[in-house]
A and B are shown apart, each in its own frame.
Chain A
Amino acid sequence: MFATSLTVNDLLFLLEGAWVTLQLTAWSILLGTLAGLLFGLLRALLPRATLPLAWVLDVFRSVPLLIQFVLFNSLKSIAGLNISAFTVGCIVLGIYAAAYFTEIVRGGVLAVPLSTRRASRSLGLSYLQDLRFIVLPIATRVAFPGWLNLVLGVMKDTALVMWIGIVELLRASQTIVTRIQEPLLVLCIAGLIYYVMSLVVARLGARLETRWQEND
């Protein structure tokens, strides 16, 4: 009754695509987190001086990711940069994630009440000690759910890199669909793989949050 042309090799091909998706996600989140952390702190602590930074990041938040991929890929060719499509994917996704994470970090830092910071300064803590021991730990708890959302979002946005010729999970599934003409089955499997990857990340995050909530 149930017959399919899907082979074990096809499944392995999908998993290889999933591995590329994971790598893209990991690198771009790493880049986005580091840059976003720096930019977000600057935006929260020096709002006036860093206004131009906000304008630039707004561009990356506003222009569809697909356009950013294609434009950056073309720019790469025009400028004669010798970098792989995978690197382009990581950079574009990383900047995109950074633009979002900047706002998440800024929100977290601004959520720390001024009175709490005054209390720590009144004890003799320096500006940097106040940041390190009071502001950052509290802001982290506020910003974490937003960061987790971003990770899951970026994981799915990686699907767009197929437009610059990278074979990741979605592209791999389309290749198989073209050959065996069973889109429902293949897309279900691809969707399931995305779901499992997201679930693992979400569960890890939830565990961390519970641990914090026991305290606060």
Chain B
Amino acid sequence: MIEIENVHKSFGDLEVVKGVSLTVDKGEVVSIIGGSGSGKSTLLMCINGLEPIQQGSIRVDGVEVHDRATDLNHLRQKIGIVFQQWNAFPHLTVLENVMLAPRKVLGKSKQDAEALAVRQLEHVGLGDKLKAFPSKLSGGQQQRMAIARALAMSPDYMLFDEATSALDPQLVGEVLDTMRMLAEDGMTMVLVTHEIRFARDVSDRVAFFCNGRVHEIGPPEQVIGNPVQPETAAFLRSVK
């Protein structure tokens, strides 16, 4: 379970997250929507400790993420994250990209890590690209590789930071299909997304962020289908 309580986050004088509270249960899929600069991506970076917070608390399975005593490298093993810019490691093959963390972080043998990586890559439909370097892949393929790379750590949670925003329109579908597959497998997911229809289809709950706060939250039928807040309605109209 991810428990976010009254989190404040600033970059210098600019406060981007202004007191957000949100709980994500095991097996739940929560989508975060909202305009740019509303603090949604930043919040995601705070969940696995890539960004420090100034106030409040974030607990993952009861462990305080921002406690000095917390072993972040250990905690991050169970929180996978997929970025907007897929962030492939350019000097490693697709297979090596996925094998790296299981080998170096989990200490798996080369054979075990390779078997695991091959399985994950086949799962996302990249079984024929094992020896290719990321530069030879399309954006959609690189993003699916990034998903396989995160899944190879057998995370309990997956965070997606606008995973399809940097992709050409015709490549968005293949990545969304992969994410949908994960959701159907029961993975706990937090998605920051601009794909409203997708959010509506896969989410258990949708949170609308506005000015660094959760402005409206509830089941997708409500937040997307029949929003209570005028700002939510205005945002949905603007992205349609």
Chain A residues within 8 Å of B, Cβ to Cβ: 113, 115-116, 118-126, 129, 133-134, 137-138, 141, 212, 215-216
Contact = CB atoms under 8 A, between A and B. Distances in A.
A44 to B, nearest CB: 18
B76 A123 contact: yes
B87 A129 contact: no
A121 B50 contact: yes
Query: Which applies to chain A's interface (DSSP): helix, strand, loop or mixed?
Result: helix
B144 interface: no
B233 interface: no
Contacts of B226: none
Nearest to A214: B133
For chain B, give the interface size range. 20 to 34
B228 interface: no
A123 B149 contact: yes
Contact of A115 (B77, B83, B105, B149): B83
Contact of A138 (B91, B104, B135): B91
B198 interface: no
Contacts of B150: 122-123
A133 B133 contact: no
Contacts of A116: 87, 89-90
Contacts, number: 71
A126 B101 CA distance: 10
Given A141-B91, A216-B90, A121 B76 contact: yes
Nearest to A123: B101
Contacts of B105: 123-125, 129
B240 interface: no
A186 B146 CA distance: 61
B48 interface: yes
B90 A133 contact: no
Contact of B85 (A115, A120, A134): A115
B74 interface: yes
B76 A122 contact: yes
B81 interface: yes
B133 A124 contact: no
Contacts of B133: 215-216
Given A115-B85, A124-B105, A137 B91 contact: yes
Given A115-B85, A134-B89, A141-B91, A125 B104 contact: yes
Given A133-B100, A133-B104, A124 B153 contact: yes
Interface string B184-198: 000000000000000
A100 B219 CA distance: 60
Contact of A216 (B74, B76, B91): B91
B137 to A, nearest CB: 12
Interface string B68-110: 0000011011011101010101110100000011001100000
Contacts of B146: 119
Kindly name the residue among A120, A138, A141 whose own CB sees the greatest number of chain B CB atoms within 10 A: A120
A123 B153 contact: yes
A138 B90 CA distance: 8
Given A123-B101, A129-B105, A118 B89 contact: no
A28 B173 CA distance: 56
Given A121-B50, A138-B91, A216-B135, 8 more contacts: A118-B45, A118-B87, A123-B153, A125-B100, A134-B89, A215-B91, A215-B93, A216-B91
A215 B133 CA distance: 6
A129 B90 CA distance: 16
Query: Which A-B residue pairs are the 4 nearest by beta carbons?
Result: A119-B87, A123-B101, A124-B105, A124-B77
B193 to A, nearest CB: 18
Contacts of A125: 73, 100-101, 104-105
A95 to B, nearest CB: 31
Given A123-B105, A124-B74, A118 B135 contact: no
Contacts of B135: 215-216
Contacts of B104: 125, 129, 133
A66 to B, nearest CB: 40
Interface in B143-178: 146, 149-150, 153
Among A122, A133, A216, max chain B CB count under 10 A is at A122
A126 B91 CA distance: 19
